[in-house]
Amino acid sequence: MSSTSSASAPNRRSFLARSAAVAAVPAVAALAGGALAEPASAASLPDYAPIPKSALGPAVNAQGYFVGRVDKNLYWVTDSTYQAAFLTTRDGVVLFDAPPTIGHNLQRAIDEVAAANGVSSKVTHIVYSHHHADHLGASSLFGPNVTRIGHADTRRLLAEENDPARPVPDITFDTRYTLRTGGERIDLAWHGTNHTPDNSYIHFPGHDTLMLVDIVLPRWVPYDSFNLNEDVQGSIAAPATAMAYPWTHFIGGHMGRLGTRDDMTVYQRYVDDIIAGVKKALVAVDPAPFFAKYGDNSWAAVQQYQKAQVDYAAAPVIKKYLGVLAAADVYTASTTFVILESIRLDLGTDSQVHP
């Protein structure tokens, strides 16, 4: 179902999407001690390719959210930048993640669906995908009498971070946990580190759906620097693990739409193309001119040499995916640099032993 007033003006919709996107990065003013250094001038900012229509989801309502059905009694809610999900059951609601940018709209979305279907709108459980504040920072809104479930490392990391907005999970698991409540079944699993050490797979066997957050953002390239993934090789491998599950609907935790198996395949090809480009660049780009130019300034030589490698690897990928994956021209270069470093440092490719 769609939210009650989803036919809002495009300007309102894009404004709200932008506010959520801005909330996702550290506040510049706070970092600068409360004062912005320079007034931004829109005219001097760079231009990028238009976003393909296939990357955009439904319009948000006047309150800034869209809620829709994924399958049967499983729903998703988005502010166009972040996503959460919830399952209505005969005994209450199970919520999956609580992004602070959606915040109080989570309960509004649940109330709307529950009222339309005549079921309880009381959240009884919150399942955590991983410990990051941008996906859990509204957890405390649901009070202390909710059962929170997450990976053992989610509990460990949240205990260290000690953020009152993100209460630690009451129930934890190491590799697998099946949540049975109100006649429903949800399978949680940990298949190794990827985006974070604790990032978990949330499978809905009765709803033909997989939720895996911060790995594949359907029809968008990853956020800056390969989504800041802590384990690069683990993150590259994660989509194949996701594809091994049976599902039709994918909840990626970000942007305004759900994903399909085709979306995940396109994303896998994009990453494979970056890897192939990096491997070519490691051989094709000659370091000599960079070291000749910069002499004893080793960092200047390395910076410019690696920039040339990244440009060599990323340029054909950007060209190929413009119009296919949104923002390919924005973030492909920074992701290519991260993958280049992982190929050098984690895999040892191009490592040479002094004779």
Phi, psi of 251 (to 5 degrees): -110, 110
Shortest Å distance, C-beta 184 to Zn ion: 26
Q: For residues 151 and 111, what is the distance between their CA atoms, to the nearest angstrom? A: 28
For Zn ion, the closer CB: 132 or 203: 132
- Token pair listed for 318: 């950007």
Shortest Å distance, C-beta 79 to Zn ion: 16
The H or E element that residue 127 is part of is: strand 123-127
Shortest Å distance, C-beta 207 to Zn ion: 23
For Zn ion, the closer CB: 119 or 213: 213
Q: Which residue is nearest to Zn ion (CB)?
A: 132
Q: For residues 253 and 242, what is the distance between their CA atoms, to the nearest angstrom? A: 14
For Zn ion, the closer CB: 201 or 290: 201
Pairing type for strands 176-181 and 201-204 reads unpaired
DSSP H stretches of helix in the chain: 10-23, 28-31, 105-117, 133-136, 152-161, 224-227, 232-243, 261-284, 288-294, 298-321, 328-345
For Zn ion, the closer CB: 88 or 129: 129
Other CB atoms within 10 Å distance of the CB of residue 351: 8
Shortest Å distance, C-beta 350 to Zn ion: 30
**Binding residues for Zn ion, per CB under 5 A?**
132, 214
Shortest Å distance, C-beta 73 to Zn ion: 27
- Token pair listed for 150: 């997450």
Shortest Å distance, C-beta 262 to Zn ion: 24
For Zn ion, the closer CB: 79 or 214: 214
Amino acid residing at 177: Y
Pairing type for strands 209-211 and 201-204 reads antiparallel
For Zn ion, the closer CB: 47 or 160: 160
